[in-house]
Structures are given as C-alpha cells and as structure tokens.
Structure 1
C-alpha cells in the first residue's frame, strides 16, 4: 500500500532540527493516522488541524520529500508545491525539507540541487526527476502548474481573497496528474474561515483529522490540552507540564494572551483580536453557570429586544438586575431553513443546534412577525411582566405597533446603537459583567453572538457595537447589552425615598 510505503520511508529519515536533531524520525500515532488517511487512494485532499508545535509542518515536509523522490509515485517530472501565507512562512517548510535532505546518504544527496535565491526550490534528478518549490499566497504564482503533491501550510492564516485564489489554482492543477493536497493549520478564529469550512463541510474525497477540544473548558484543563496537543505525550513539541504552565500564565495575563493561547495552543476557534471585541471568550465564560446554579427570577425584569429585519435574526434578553440572571433567545423566519441559513452564514449546523437547545425559535415564513414574537417572549417569562422593554429608537414605529397588537402595556425605553447611547450601554454592560452581576446558563446563542461582536471606537474613545464579520449574527449580544445596561440604571437609581419637592 502507498501509506505503508510512505510510513516506512519517513522512519528512515533523521530529525533535522531541535533537541532531537540527528536521531531517527519516530512517528506518533496521530501522525501515522494522518499519513494513512491522506494517502488513501479515495482521498484527494487531507486536512489536519492541531495545536502549534505538533510537527505538522515537519511531517508534511517529510511527505513532500518522499513524493519528490518518487518513493510511492514514480511518474516523471514530479512537481511539489509548498504554499504558505508569505515567503518567511514558506521558508520554514523549505528548511525542514532541506534538513531532511541533509540527513540522507551522501550518494543520494548528490542528486539534489538546492536553490536559496529569489526562489526557494529543491530539484531532484533521480527516478524521473522532480521539483519542489515554496511559494507565497498569490494564486498567479502557479497558474499552469500541475503539482503531484501540494501542501497548504497554516491555511487558516492566509488572506481570504489571495488565499482562496491560490487554493483554487492548486486544486485545479492537481487534477491533471492525480495529485493530492495536504491542508494543515491550527484552528481558524471563526467558522467562516475557508479552513473551517474544509473541516466542517468536507466535500467527497476529503480526509479530515481535527484535534480540537470541547468549547468552554478552562484553559489549563490538561485532558483537553492533550486533545489539541497529542504529540505532548509522545515526545513531540511541548511537554504537558509546559502546556499547563503556559495556560496558567495566559490566564493570569488575560486579554490577547489568553485568546492567543486558546487559538494557537488549545486549537480552539477563538478570535485573537482583543482590542475591539465587546468581551473576550473567557470574560463571557466567567459569567456562565450550571442551570441549577442560576439565580432566581426575583425582582424587576428588564427585556432587551433587537428586532430583526426581513432576513436577519430577532433576539431578546431578559435580565433580573437584583439577582444578575440573564436569559436570551433568538428567532429566524422559517424560510430558508436553518440548515441552509447556517451554510450561507458559514456556521455549519450551529443554528440547528441552537434550536435543539431551545435557544432559537422559528416564526413566520419569510419574516418574523413582530407582534407574534413579542407574545412568545411574554410566554417565555411565565407571566412575569417586565418593568421595561428596551429597544432601538430607529424601530420606534414597528415596536409601537407590535406592542399594541401583542397587548403589552409596558414602558418602553428607546436607545440608539450609535456612539452616544451605545458607548454608555457597552460600558455599563462590561462593568456589570466584570463585577459578577451577570449570570447565564451555558448558551450557544450568546457564545456565538459575543464571538462575532466587536466595538468601533471614535477619536474620543466612545464605543459602538458592530460585527466582526459581515455574516456574523450579534443580535443576541445587542439585546443583552440593552437589557443589562438598563438594569444597571435601575439599580443605580435605587428605590424612591419620598415624595416630590416643589420649588416656589
């Protein structure tokens, strides 16, 4: 079999760099699994998602060397492409490839020509010949090529337009010579990334191997760290002790340090953009509690409502400021279906999961009927009358009509989403969250919304809510901000202590 031949060849190589340089290459179980899946004749594309430092680039370089030498593919003039986001990243793969060449017998080394100038190339003159070259993400750089093997390194980090162009050029060229593509990377920061789509929605003929732990676990949880870093227990990359120590340092530092650790070392889909996010993943997770530990529905209830448009999500958040309890629900029209909507928004089956968890409703056909939506929210509160409903002032007429039809006689607080009202509401929400005055059951709806929510900052330092990506759904985050901010104002005003004073 091709995979058995490749595995036998890889174990004849020597480790090219690091503390074990010069020792025979020993493959870990997860590496062997990837080689078998990648070289299965039924697969044209193989995807590997794993934490940083687990030798995915080195493994791909070893496979590239075997393909270049025709160990399992003896067609003449073989062409190997090693693609990366930029030249510096491509050079890392190039150094691994040339390092493996340097460990071959001297007689074999003489068959290689290594070029380190403007082009990073390795040419092999034996067994029909072949050329391996490293390129940056520019689709024009390989037009007309016919690679027998292509490696796309750190695919999640490629620029969207240039990266997709390069990927399309590579895949179109593979068909000319029955070639294979290896797509390797740590996790992308979101589900809409092209690498995420490969993992979530693999087309026929694709092998997927993803080492990603469950979402929401502590950053220093060892078992989940080892899921993302399987090489740690087999002597590859970082040790378990180092990973735990780094996790605790990241927790202590918080912010971008923690987000980067989750994305790169825990292989989680977490945005590393921290300067303008509404709240980080860990800041929100600190507010989540088990359903049985939720505070009671005591005291005044504030209902924040983000009324969606004809195609967008409607969302509402109920907040009890005296206890800190927060509940949120979203709603889509029935057409298109949640599966199709999830595919177009780049979130796979996430909407269907939300509906199964009771966090997402479907109402109406092409649009969500506002009055029916508000009536459903009243039922959700089990007879509790909100002390106020908070919504967008620019939807004033729609809200007024919907409340009248739903029979709601509740004070309405109009808020804007611009710099003035938005900045105050965001600051009040963050303060309540950081002070431990917001508690919610684990909610995929809220996690998803906060993951897509960023803030735009004007020259005076004011914030307003915005989407991190055009297809993001931040409606539940907006509703939560409205509800919590108004709840904070209610608590700040306190209870009335006497009658009015008349000035004469």
Structure 2
C-alpha cells in the first residue's frame, strides 16, 4: 500500500499528529482580532482574550486581560507614525505566581500564529534548563488542545518541544523551547523570544546569543518576564537599572520598555501595601492567603526573610542573609573626584589572594565629618578568565574590559604587578600605611624591594581580635553614609557576598569560608578604614585645652 503525502502516516517529526488530520475546521470569517479600527495592541489583547484557560479555578473560561496587563501590552505594542512597533526589548518584573506563564504562552502564540506573526517566523521560549523552558511549551500545547481552531492549523511535536504552523497567519513559522546551552543557538533568527525567569540564569550567554540574533528580523521583540535577580551585576538587574533610567528620562531609548512591580526598599515587608506593590494580581488570581502565610513564616523565622523579600516582594536581595543591607550600601555610591585625590592622605588595605583568585587593593581617603573616599584596584590572572566567570557566575571578563579588574598575564597572580600598583599609589598620594593580611606577604615585600621603594606596611590579623573593630567601623560607616565608593561593581559584589561570624564573646569577623562568593574587596576596605583610625592624632587632653584658654 502506498503512503502519500498527507496520509495518516505522514507526520512532521516524532510525537507529531498526522498531517491528514489538519485543515478540517472552518476558519471564522472574522477573527476577534481582525475587527476594523483596532490598534495593534488591541489586536494582541483580542487574541489573548480568545484563548482558553486550561488550569486552576478559572479553567474552562477564556483569558481576561487585567488592567495592569493591558497597560503593559498597550505600551509594548504601541505603534509609531509609520505603523511600526518601536519596542524591541520589553521587561516585566513582578513577584512569583502572578500569571506570567499564561501571559507569556499567550504572547508566544500571538507571535507564532496570531496577529503578530510573520511568514516563516521563529518563536522561542528560553530558560535556565530545558525542563523549565518546556513549561511554556506545555502551557501553549494545552491552550492549543482546548482551542480547536488554532490547533487545526498547528503541528505539535511533543518529543522535540516544537510547534509548526501549517496554514493561515504565520504559515511556515516554528516555535521551540531553548535552555541555557547558548553554544548551539548561534544559527537562530528569532522574531520573538520570551525569556522566562531570566533573573535565575547563571550567566548572560543565552540572553546575549538570542538578543544579538534578532538583527535579521524587521520587527523582532525580546521579552523578559522574571522576578528580580539577587545581585546588581546580573544581566536582569542591568536590564532593570537601564529601564529605570529610561523611565526617568535619563536615557532616551524608544526601543526599550520596563514595567516593574516591586516593594520599595524601605517598605514595611509585612504590610499589605508592600505585597500589593509587587503582586499586581494580589487577591485576584494571586492568593492573598498564600502571601499572608509566607509572610507569617518569614516574620518568625529570620532566615526566611531574605527569600520572602526577593520572591514575594520582588526586591533585589539575596535569598541568604548578608552582612550589609543593599539599600544602605547603595546610598554610599557617590563617586569620589579622582583628580582631587592626588597628594591627599590615604590608608590602604591589601588582601592578597591565592594564585588564581581575586586580589584587592583598597585606598581610603579621610574627608570632612569622618567621611571617606574609596578607590579600589582588583587583580586576577588573565588565563581562563571566561571559565572563572562561568564558575563564579560573575562577569569578571566584562569587568576587566571595563577597567575594573587588572588582568595579569599567565595563570597565576604575579606579585610584581601588585607591588607596582602599591608603589604608584605611594607616589601619587600621601600613603600613610598599607594594612595587609600575612598571606603571601613575603613575595610582595621582595617585589617592593626590587622597586627600591619604602612603603609603610602594617600587618593586620584576620581573627576576631583585629577584625571585630574593623567590622564595626565598616558597618557604622555604611549605615551613616560616610563612604563614597563610586558603585565599583567588583566591590559591590564583595559587599553583597559578605557574611560574618561571631565568637562566644560576640566579636565579629568577615568570614570567607561561609561566603557564597568572593569578599576580598570588603576585607581590604575594612582593614583600610580601621588603620585610618589607628593613625589619627591623639586627642588633646582637656586639661591642656583649659590652659590654652
């Protein structure tokens, strides 16, 4: 028996239905999104509201776009005078469980086979793992199964997590679920990408691969929907920071849109106002009872507070407890005037690393009112810098290109480069002393001797006795906004990673062994601040002051 194209055995890949089962349902004469007079955004909304809800208490009904969702869609799909859509990157950030998966699935279908589709388009969902990326595919598949008209035009390949459009709008278009293996994504030409939970991505490789691949399309769109990342240096944090500058008018970029739902840093985390700020669907399809339950637990169990703030309040805080609060640290990010520091008195902290790690050299310049200007230098071996960036999930390679890290040729730290930086600081500023950890200091002293310089060095113990007053001074300086650290991204990373331990007497020290990342810069800063106090002139006795009067 012959098998002809279109017969039951003719399929488009493992897991697909036979093509002969397609094309049997009559298409409505006028689709809800084809009504004359509609704007582009209204057509998108009409398409979404034609889609069925497949799970939960509202299963069996169709989507109803809420006011907050409508506002986002109207902004993203607004047209310019020429009828084009200016927005190329759209970011939507909110707390967990606010319906992002169904919205993202509906928009992916809209670009695949709805009013935003194009002939032979490429639509992708991206996520940390293939299983996570496939969640959006499963939601799209469930919607198609419940929408016979759209399902009749599509070929769903379960095994490969792909969807093909056979007829009608978007004919020849494909959808696929992608994971973070960016190396195999360089040949793609996306017309629409939705990146699910970009805030949890270990690096920016997949985002960059997809973002740069859209250049071949006339009207591409990259949409990132996620809860905030924990760190400032994360790619999603960079997108949010950029978007806030666009929203404030500091940057003019009509191709970028940000909608951010997050509780303010100084909000009462246990108030309903804070919950509502981060959960636009609160008391609608986002359970108020569930948020109340999680808030009650976090309030009673301090170790859960950070995770509650990140996931439920959409604040940029790590899920682990940290030594310095981000909001306080960020209030100290004023930049010192480098040119005005030449010749000024300063004190340094030097935290020498192992052969392959981060070395930190931090200068503290005392100013008026017990304030300090902070200048940092960081060093790492050049070899395998990309691998270390991936291992630590930190963009060392990018920071090196930006000048925040000095890369030393080879695979180990050559102390000669560090010694040269110390000598240059001594020649440029009035360097009073360099506090150092005794680790590998003999190598540095030997190199300093080769330069013929006389740099004042001062050992600084890393135990509770010496570090406890340094931690106290650092904490006080941050809390009282006495630092101007300029927002150095490497120092920011160290501050966000820092944790402390206590001895039985209550003394504290910065603990590298318990930190989730490198804290060398903050250790060097604490030492610099503490030795500045050691070298202050003794206060004049009150009896001498009276005699002078």
Q: TM-score, normalised by structure 1?
A: 0.64
Deviations 1:187-231 (CA, angstroms, capped at 9, x unpaired): 111111111112222566111112223224443233222211111
Matched, 1:415 2:457: no
Alpha-carbon contact 2:86-2:254 (below 8 Å) kept? no
Q: Indicate how the Cα distance of structure 1 residues 402 and 215 shifts in structure 2: closer, same or farther if over 3 A, else same.
A: farther
Q: 2:137 aligns with which of 94, 101, 106?
A: 94
1:111: how far off? 2.2
**Residues 198 and 224 of structure 2 are in contact (CA less than 8 Å); yes or no, is this contact kept in structure 1?**
yes
Alignment length (residue pairs): 393
Residue 4 of structure 1, CA deviation? 1.2
1:115 aligns with 2:157: yes
CA distance in 2, matches of 1:262, 1:480: 32
Structure 1 residues 311 and 390: CA distance shift in structure 2, 3 A:
closer
Deviation at 1:115, TM superposition (A): 1.8
Contact 1:306 1:392 in 2 (8 A): yes
Could you say which residue in structure 2 is the equivalent of 1:266?
A: 313
Q: Once the 2 structures are TM-superposed, how far is the Cα of residue 15 of structure 1 from its aligned partner?
A: 1.9
Provide the rounded CA distance (Å) in 2 between the counterparts of 1:176 and 1:439: 48
Q: Which residue is 2:219 aligned to?
A: 178
Does the C-alpha gap of structure 1 residues 481 and 263 become closer, same or farther in structure 2, counting only changes over 3 Å?
farther
- 1:13 and 2:61 correspond: no
Deviations 1:103-157 (A, max 9, x none): 32x343222222221x111222221242211111122333322222111111121
SS of the equivalent of 1:201 reads: helix
Distance 1:463 1:470, change over 3 A: closer
Aligned residue for 1:249? 297
> What's 2:436 paired with?
392
Cα distance in 2 for partners of 1:471, 1:81 equals: 38
The answer (yes or no) to whether the contact 1:307–1:370 under 8 Å persists in 2 is no
Aligned partner of 1:56 in structure 2 is 100
Q: Matched residues in 2 for 1:224 and 1:109: separation?
A: 41
The answer for unaligned runs of 5 or more in structure 2 is 1-38, 79-84, 244-252, 332-345, 353-358, 377-398, 405-423, 502-508, 535-549
Shift of 1:391: 4.2
Cα deviation, residue 327, structure 1: 7.2
Paired with 2:529 and 2:46, the residues of 1 have a C-alpha distance of: 58
Q: Is the 8 A contact 1:113 1:123 kept in 2?
A: yes
Question: Would you say the 8 A contact 1:308–1:314 is kept in 2?
Answer: no
Distance in 2 (CA, whole Å) between partners of 1:368 and 1:226 is 53
Q: Distance in 1 between matches of 2:459 and 2:230?
A: 34
What RMSD, in angstroms, separates the aligned Cα atoms of the two structures? 4.7
- 1:19 offset after TM fit, Å? 2.3
Of residues 170, 173, 184, the one that matches 1:130 is 173
Q: CA separation in 2, counterparts of 1:57 and 1:369?
A: 58
Query: Does 1:43 pair with 2:87?
Result: yes
Q: For the residues of structure 1 that align with 2:158 and 2:232, how far apart are their CA atoms?
A: 37
Q: Structure 1 473/126 Cα, relative in aligned 2: closer, same or farther at 3 Å? A: farther
Q: Tell me which residue corresponds to 2:342.
A: none
TM-score (norm 2): 0.59
Give the structure 1 partner of residue 190 of structure 2.
Answer: 147
Q: Say whether the 8 Å CA contact 1:221–1:244 is kept in structure 2.
A: no
State whether residues 498 and 519 of structure 2, in contact with CA within 8 Å, keep that contact through their aligned partners in structure 1: no
Instruction: Please give the alpha-carbon distance, in whole angstroms, between the structure 1 residues aligned to 2:119 and 2:522.
Output: 54
Q: Is the 8 A contact 2:351 2:436 kept in 1?
A: no
Which ranges in structure 1 are unaligned for 5 or more consecutive residues?
289-302, 319-325, 334-340, 347-365, 375-388, 404-411, 487-504
Which residue in 2 is equivalent to 1:226? 276
- TM-fit CA distance, 1:468: 6.1
Which residue is equivalent to 1:25?
63
Counterpart-to-counterpart distance in 1, 2:523 and 2:255: 37
Provide the secondary structure at the position in 2 that maps to 1:232: coil
Matched position secondary structure for 2:269: coil
From the CA coordinates, give the structure whose radius of gyration is larger: 2
From 498, 502, 512, the equivalent of 1:453 is 498
Moved more, 438-447 or 199-208: 438-447
